[in-house]
């Protein structure tokens, strides 16, 4: 099939908020520095839902969504030397070119060439889509478009992983779980015995809690407006649950009272700017560190008093848990293989590709953390 167009099934988003349509599409061969992947498993992330609903961004349709997945390399384009057909891989929504200042820095994973671009619906090599139907282009999403049996991605957005890793499990490490876990382990860096507050207990927040658990935190305080998340959060190491609705004073004051002046670390995973401010203001003076993970509305402003910084609190932001996609994600998969990390508890549903719209229903009803979609069913 190498060098030829492949006809396969894809779930196409044709208009905002309408069910995806399973259609036969044509997938062109990979061009320079691209690879064509056979997707075996994909999962639904809230980012897919957000762009499917087309709320607050430039809508682009028809489009093939999907960015959390696992598959194998089908063919490689010109110039690709580090991947070959048959390699087991995770496509990643952001990349690592290996050449720019960010890639050469130990401190950054924000590649100049391949960092996330939510507006782009084409490949960067030639500004064209590799997907079409009846001669009409279908747009890409996040450079991955994994809701298709075959997809074309830039080789810098592909993590080559352990050939023994089960793709139906580790596919969920390609976005949300690595984002949350990395925010705690790589950025907040709690020491053993510290207290950690996690704002928002969706999949990313629970992964952040799991990171705190792995780091040996003594108290992990989960904060969420949904009381039904309290019980499930215990599986991820959360020791105490706080619902801001149950209190008549600001949540940062509630947490300060619980922790003798504030938590040692906090990780914010909601994207709500008020929660971001609370996450910063609830850390202890002198050594407290707050990390922002959630993505706010583009016009939101973060307001706090400068004295909070002068009293030696630190505020940090993170993107994709500070993991470099090609360099670091294979190591996260190894953590799973070595039983240092459990991903099964994040996977609440498994369905076949023909039922993909059910995954959206589960997510919208708040019933799922991760729904894994088997492409050959």
Domain ranges across the chain: 6-172+343-374, 179-319
- pLDDT score, position 58: 79
Tokens standing for 88? Answer: 């087991």
Report, as ranges of residue numbers, the positions in the chain whose pLDDT lies below 50: none
Asked: is 179-319 a CATH 3.40.50.720 domain? The reply is: yes
Tens of pLDDT, residues 242-271: 999 999 999 999 999 999 999 999 999 999
171 an active-site residue?
Answer: no
Candidates 63, 96, 103, 313; catalytic one: 103
Candidates 36, 42, 45, 184; catalytic one: 45
C-alpha pair distances (Å), 55 with each of 93, 119, 297 = 20, 13, 11
Segments of 283-346 assigned E as strands: 289-292, 314-317
Q: Which fold has domain 6-172+343-374?
A: Quinone Oxidoreductase; Chain A, domain 1 (3.90.180)
269 an active-site residue?
Answer: no
Candidates 36, 63, 67, 349; catalytic one: 67
Residues 6+ positions from 353 with CB-CB distance below 8 Å: 9, 11, 22, 149, 373, 374, 375, 376, 377
Tens of pLDDT, residues 271-319: 999 999 999 999 999 999 999 999 888 889 999 999 999 999 999 999 9
Quote the pTM value.
0.95
157 an active-site residue?
Answer: no
318 an active-site residue?
Answer: no
Phi, psi of 87 (to 5 degrees): -65, 140
- pLDDT score, position 1: 64
47 an active-site residue?
Answer: yes
8 an active-site residue?
Answer: no
Candidates 111, 157, 171, 282; catalytic one: 111
Candidates 151, 269, 370, 371; catalytic one: 370
345: enclosing H helix or E strand? none
- pLDDT score, position 56: 64
Q: Are strands 34-43 and 6-12 parallel, antiparallel or unpaired?
A: unpaired
Place of tokens 């004073």: 249
- pLDDT score, position 377: 77
371 an active-site residue?
Answer: no
115 an active-site residue?
Answer: yes
282 an active-site residue?
Answer: no
C-alpha pair distances (Å), 289 with each of 192, 193, 281, 312, 313 = 15, 15, 10, 9, 6
370 an active-site residue?
Answer: yes
Candidates 100, 314, 355, 374; catalytic one: 100
């Amino acid at each position: 099939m190498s060098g030829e167009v492949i006809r396969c099934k894809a779930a196409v988003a044709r208009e905002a908020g309408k069910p995806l349509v399973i259609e036969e599409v044509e997938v062109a061969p990979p061009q320079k520095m691209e690879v064509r992947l056979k997707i075996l498993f994909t999962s639904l992330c809230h980012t897919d839902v957000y762009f499917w609903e087309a709320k607050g961004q430039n809508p682009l349709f028809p489009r093939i969504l999907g960015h959390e997945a696992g598959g194998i390399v089908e063919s490689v384009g010109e110039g690709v030397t580090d991947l070959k057909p048959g390699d087991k891989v995770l496509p990643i929504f952001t990349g690592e070119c290996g050449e720019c200042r960010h890639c050469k820095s130990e401190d950054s994973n924000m590649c100049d060439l391949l960092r996330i671009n939510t507006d782009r619906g084409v490949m960067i090599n030639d500004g064209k889509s590799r997907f079409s139907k009846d001669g009409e282009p279908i747009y890409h999403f996040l450079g991955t478009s994994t809701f298709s049996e075959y997809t074309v991605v830039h080789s810098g957005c592909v993590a080559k992983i352990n050939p023994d890793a089960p793709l139906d499990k580790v596919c969920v490490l390609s976005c949300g779980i690595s984002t949350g876990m990395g925010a705690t382990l790589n950025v907040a860096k709690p020491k053993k015995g510290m207290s950690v507050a996690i704002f928002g207990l969706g999949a990313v927040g629970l992964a952040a809690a799991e990171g705190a658990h792995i780091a040996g935190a003594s108290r992990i305080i989960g904060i969420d407006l949904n009381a039904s998340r309290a019980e499930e959060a215990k599986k991820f190491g959360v020791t105490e649950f706080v619902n801001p609705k149950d209190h008549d004073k600001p949540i940062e004051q509630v947490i300060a009272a619980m922790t003798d002046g504030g938590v040692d670390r906090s990780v914010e995973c909601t994207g709500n700017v008020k929660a971001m401010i609370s996450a910063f203001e609830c850390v202890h003076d002198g050594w407290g560190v707050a990390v922002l993970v959630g993505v706010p509305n583009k016009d939101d402003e973060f307001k706090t008093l400068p004295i909070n910084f002068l009293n030696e609190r630190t505020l940090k932001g993170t993107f994709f848990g500070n993991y470099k996609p090609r360099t670091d994600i294979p190591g996260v998969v190894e953590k799973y293989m070595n039983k240092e990390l459990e991903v099964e508890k994040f996977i609440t549903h498994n369905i076949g590709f023909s039922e993909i719209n059910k995954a959206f229903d589960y997510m919208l009803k708040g019933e799922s953390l991760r729904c894994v979609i088997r492409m050959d069913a």
